[in-house]
C-alpha cells in the first residue's frame, strides 16, 4: 500500500495518508517489492517546480494554495471537489470475504481487526452461521455502494462495524446503509485487540 | 549610450503590494539581481513564506512554491534533496522563521541542508498588524506590547544569526542591513556569496537582513531607517558569523 500511495499522490496531486496501528507498526512479515518503484506523472511539466530549464515552454510553475479573491477561491474549491469526486469514481478499494452463500450478517472491518474477524467468520461457518465481511482497503473514498449492496442482500439481518477504535468508521457504515439494516458497533482501544470469540459473541447476540 | 540600468529578468513587470518605504522591495531586487547575474533563473525554485512576502511569487519570474507558516525550510529540504541540481531558497520574516518556524530552521541548518535562506528581520509581525515578534526590541511598542516589550516575561530578542552560527555543521551565516546604499551593496554581496556556496554544493546559507516596517512601526520610511540603525544595529551587529571550513 505504501508503494501505491506515491503514484496516487502524484496522479491527484494530493497527500495520501497511510493508516497503520500499533500492531502493524511492530509486525514483521515478508514483503515483495515490484520491479519498478519509480513512476513519473505524465503531466508533470504543467505543475512541477522542477526548474524552468526542464520545460520546453517558457512557463514558470507555481504551487500555491492562497487565493485572495473569493471568486477565484470558489473556483479552486470546485476544482478540488471535482477531484474528490473523481477519486470516488476511480479509487474505491475493498476486499470481500465469504460472500458466496446466504450470509446472515455482514461485518465491515479493516486492518488488523479484519484478520481477527476472518477467523471469527471461519469458526461461525463451522457452527453453521454464515457471515460475510467487506474489508475497506481505502477508508477514503469509502466503498459506500459496495457496503450498501452487500447489506441489502435478502438474507442479511444486521451489519457490524468492528474496529480497533471507538467507532470512527461507524458513521461511514451507517451512511452507506442509509437505514436499510440495523448497524452495530464493537471495538476496543488502547492496544487491546478483540479476540475472535468476542467477535463471534457480538454477532451471535444479534443474529440467531 | 547603452543601457545602464534595467529591471532584472527575474522580477516581473508589475506593481507590488508592499507599503511605501518597506525594505521587502529592496531585498526582492537584490535576490533577483543575484539570480540574474549567476545565470540560474531556469533552475531556481523559491519558497514563499507566510507574512507580507507571501505573494512574492507574483513578483518573481521563476518556479515558486508557497509554504505553510514557518515550514519553508522543510519544503526546501524536500525539493533540494530530490533535485540537488536546483537552486533552492526560502525567504522568511521573523514571525515566520524565528517564531512558529524556529524548529524548522534550526534543524535544517544543523542537518546542513544545501539551500539558502533570506531572513527578513523587521522586529514585528508585519502582515497581521504589527504584533510582537521574537526579534522585537526591548521596550518596543507593538500591538501586542502596547507598553513596550517587557523582557522580564518575554525574554530578550533572539539573535538568529549568532544562534545558528553556534551549530557545528558548516554553514555561511551573515547579518546585513538595507538602511543605506553602502549596506545594500554589502547585502547583495552576501546574498551572492550565499547562492555561490549553494552552487558549489558547499553548505547551508542564511543571510539575515535588518529591515524596516514603517507602517507597523508608525514611522515615516526615513525615520524607520534611522530607527533600525540606532535601535536595532547595536543589538543586532552586522557581520559574517560563520563560513564553511576553508574560508
Ligand atoms: C499556522 C499559521 N498561524 C498564523 C498565521 C497568521 N499569520 C500570518 S502572517 C503572520 C506573521 C508574519 O510575520 P513575519 O514573518 O515577521 O513577516 P512580515 O509580515 O513582517 O514580513 C502570522 C502569524 C498563519 N497564516 N498560519
Ligand atoms: S506591513 Fe511592514 S513589512 Fe509589511 S509591507 Fe508594510 S511595511 Fe512592509
Radius of gyration over every alpha carbon of chain A, rounded to an integer in angstroms: 21
Which residue CA neighbors atom 9 of ligand 1 most closely?
Answer: B51
pLDDT score for B247: 54
Answer yes or no: is pLDDT of A85 > 60: yes
Average pLDDT value over all residues in chain A: 93
| Nearest neighbour of A62 by CB, restricted to B64, B79, B85 | B64
DSSP-derived pairing of the beta strands B87-93 and B44-48: parallel
C-alpha cell at A132: 460475510
DSSP string, A40-59: --TTGGGT--S-GGG-SSS-
Answer yes or no: is pLDDT of A97 > 80: yes
pLDDT score for A33: 78
DSSP state of A18: P
pLDDT score for A6: 87
pLDDT score for B5: 85
Task: Find the mean pLDDT for residues A154-158.
Answer: 97
Which residue CA neighbors atom 8 of ligand 2 most closely?
Answer: B22
A51 vs B48: CB contact, 8 Å cut-off?
A: no
Which residue CA neighbors atom 6 of ligand 1 most closely?
Answer: B128
A184: alpha, beta or left? (left if phi > 0; alpha if psi -120 to 50): beta
pLDDT score for B246: 55
Task: Find the mean pLDDT for residues B214-230.
Answer: 98
Task: Find the mean pLDDT for residues B171-186.
Answer: 98
The percentage of chain A sitting over the pLDDT mark of 70, rounded to a whole number, equals 98
Ligand nearest the Cα of residue B178 is: 2
Ligand nearest the Cα of residue B216 is: 2
B42 vs A51: CB contact, 8 Å cut-off?
A: yes
Answer yes or no: is pLDDT of A2 > 80: yes
Strand partners, A20: none
Window A:35-54, CB contacts with B under 8 Å: 49-53
Among 3.90.180.10, 3.50.30.60, 3.40.50.920, 3.40.250.10, name the CATH number for the domain at A94-206: 3.40.50.920
| Nearest neighbour of A66 by CB, restricted to B42, B66, B79 | B66
Task: Find the mean pLDDT for residues B23-48.
Answer: 98
Answer yes or no: is pLDDT of A22 > 90: no
- Provide the 3-class DSSP secondary structure of residue B12: coil
Answer yes or no: is pLDDT of A30 > 90: no
B57 vs A51: CB contact, 8 Å cut-off?
A: no
Q: How far apart are alpha carbons A202 and A109 in whole angstroms?
A: 14
pLDDT by residue (tens digit) across B147-165? Answer: 999 999 999 999 999 999 9
pLDDT by residue (tens digit) across B46-76? Answer: 999 999 999 999 999 999 999 999 999 999 9
What atom of ligand 2 comes closest to residue B24's alpha carbon?
Answer: 8
Residue position matching grid coordinates 470516488: A88
pLDDT by residue (tens digit) across A122-153? Answer: 999 999 999 999 999 999 999 999 999 999 99
Q: What are phi and psi of B117, to 5 degrees?
A: -120, 130
Q: Which of A103, A114, A198 is nearest to A157 (CA)?
A: A103
pLDDT score for A29: 82
pLDDT score for A119: 98
Q: How far apart are alpha carbons A93 and A86 in whole angstroms?
A: 14
> How many beta-carbon pairs under 8 angstroms link A with B?
47
- Residue numbers in B near A50 (CB within 8 A): 63, 83, 86
> CA-nearest residue of chain B to A62?
B64
pLDDT band, very low/low/confident/very high, at B81 (cuts 50, 70, 90) = very high
> CA-nearest residue of chain A to B84?
A50
What atom of ligand 1 comes closest to residue B99's alpha carbon?
Answer: 15
Q: Of A21-30, A48-57, B212-221, where does mean pLDDT reach its minimum?
A: A21-30
pLDDT score for B124: 98
CB of B101 closer than 6 A to ligand 1? no
Q: Specify the pTM.
A: 0.90
Task: Report how many helices (DSSP H) and strands (DSSP E) chain A contains, helices first.
Answer: 7, 6
| Nearest neighbour of B66 by CB, restricted to A60, A61, A65 | A65
Q: Angle at Cα A20 formed by Cα A19 and Cα A26, nearest 5°?
A: 160
Domain range list for chain A: 2-90, 94-206
pLDDT by residue (tens digit) across B121-145? Answer: 999 999 999 999 999 999 999 999 9
Answer yes or no: is pLDDT of A18 > 90: yes
A167: alpha, beta or left? (left if phi > 0; alpha if psi -120 to 50): left
Q: Which of B165, B161, B196 is nearest to B175 (CA)?
A: B161
Query: Distance from the CA of B98 to the center of ligand 1, in angstroms?
Result: 11
- Residue numbers in A near B38 (CB within 8 A): none
pLDDT band, very low/low/confident/very high, at A37 (cuts 50, 70, 90) = low
Nearest-CA distance from A47 to chain B in Å?
Answer: 10
Task: Find the mean pLDDT for residues A28-51.
Answer: 81
Domains and CATH numbers, chain B: 24-242 (3.40.50.970)
Which residue CA neighbors atom 1 of ligand 2 most closely?
Answer: B126
CB of B216 closer than 6 A to ligand 2? yes
pLDDT score for B208: 98
Amino acid at each position: 500500500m505504501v508503494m501505491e500511495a506515491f503514484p496516487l499522490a502524484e496522479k491527484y496531486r494530493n497527500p495520501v495518508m497511510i493508516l497503520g496501528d500499533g500492531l502493524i507498526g511492530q509486525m514483521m512479515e515478508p514483503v515483495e517489492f515490484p520491479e519498478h518503484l519509480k513512476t513519473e506523472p505524465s503531466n508533470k511539466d504543467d505543475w512541477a517546480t522542477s526548474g524552468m530549464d526542464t520545460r520546453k515552454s517558457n512557463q514558470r510553475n507555481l504551487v500555491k494554495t492562497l487565493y485572495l479573491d473569493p471568486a477565484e477561491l470558489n473556483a479552486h474549491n470546485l476544482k478540488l471537489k471535482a477531484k474528490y469526486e473523481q477519486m470516488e469514481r476511480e479509487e474505491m478499494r475493498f476486499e470481500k470475504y465469504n460472500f458466496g452463500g446466504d450470509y446472515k450478517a455482514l461485518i465491515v472491518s479493516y486492518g488488523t481487526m479484519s484478520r481477527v474477524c476472518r477467523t471469527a467468520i471461519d469458526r461461525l461457518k463451522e457452527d453453521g452461521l454464515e457471515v460475510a465481511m467487506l474489508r475497506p482497503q481505502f477508508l477514503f473514498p469509502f466503498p459506500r455502494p459496495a457496503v450498501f449492496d452487500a447489506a441489502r442482500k435478502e438474507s442479511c439481518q444486521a451489519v457490524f462495524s468492528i474496529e480497533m477504535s471507538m467507532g470512527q468508521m461507524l458513521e461511514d457504515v451507517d451512511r452507506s446503509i442509509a437505514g436499510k439494516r440495523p448497524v452495530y458497533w464493537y471495538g476496543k482501544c488502547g492496544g487491546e485487540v478483540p479476540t475472535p470469540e468476542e467477535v463471534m459473541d457480538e454477532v451471535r447476540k444479534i443474529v440467531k | 549610450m547603452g543601457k545602464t540600468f534595467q529591471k532584472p529578468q527575474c522580477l516581473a513587470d508589475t506593481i507590488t503590494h508592499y507599503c511605501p518605504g518597506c525594505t521587502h522591495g529592496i531585498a526582492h531586487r537584490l535576490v533577483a539581481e543575484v539570480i540574474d547575474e549567476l545565470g540560474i533563473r531556469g533552475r531556481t525554485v523559491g519558497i514563499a513564506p507566510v507574512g507580507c512576502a507571501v505573494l512574492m511569487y507574483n513578483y518573481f519570474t521563476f518556479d515558486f512554491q508557497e509554504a505553510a507558516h514557518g515550514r519553508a525550510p522543510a519544503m526546501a529540504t524536500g525539493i533540494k534533496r530530490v533535485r540537488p541540481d536546483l537552486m533552492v531558497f526560502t525567504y522568511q520574516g521573523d514571525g515566520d522563521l524565528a517564531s512558529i518556524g524556529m524548529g524548522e530552521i534550526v534543524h535544517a541548518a544543523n542537518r546542513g541542508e544545501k539551500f539558502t535562506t533570506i531572513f527578513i528581520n523587521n522586529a514585528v509581525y508585519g502582515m497581521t498588524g504589527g504584533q510582537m515578534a521574537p526579534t522585537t526590541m526591548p521596550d518596543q511598542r507593538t500591538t501586542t506590547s502596547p507598553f513596550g516589550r517587557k523582557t522580564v516575561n518575554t525574554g530578550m530578542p533572539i539573535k538568529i544569526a549568532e544562534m545558528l552560527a553556534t551549530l557545528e555543521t558548516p554553514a555561511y551565516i551573515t547579518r546585513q542591513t538595507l538602511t543605506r546604499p553602502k549596506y545594500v551593496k554589502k547585502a547583495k554581496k552576501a546574498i551572492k556569496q550565499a547562492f555561490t556556496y549553494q552552487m558549489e554544493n558547499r553548505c547551508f546559507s542564511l543571510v539575515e537582513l535588518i529591515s524596516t516596517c514603517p507602517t507597523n512601526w508608525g514611522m515615516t520610511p526615513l525615520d524607520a531607517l534611522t530607527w533600525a540603525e540606532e535601535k536595532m544595529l547595536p543589538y543586532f551587529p552586522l557581520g559574517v558569523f560563520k563560513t564553511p571550513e576553508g574560508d
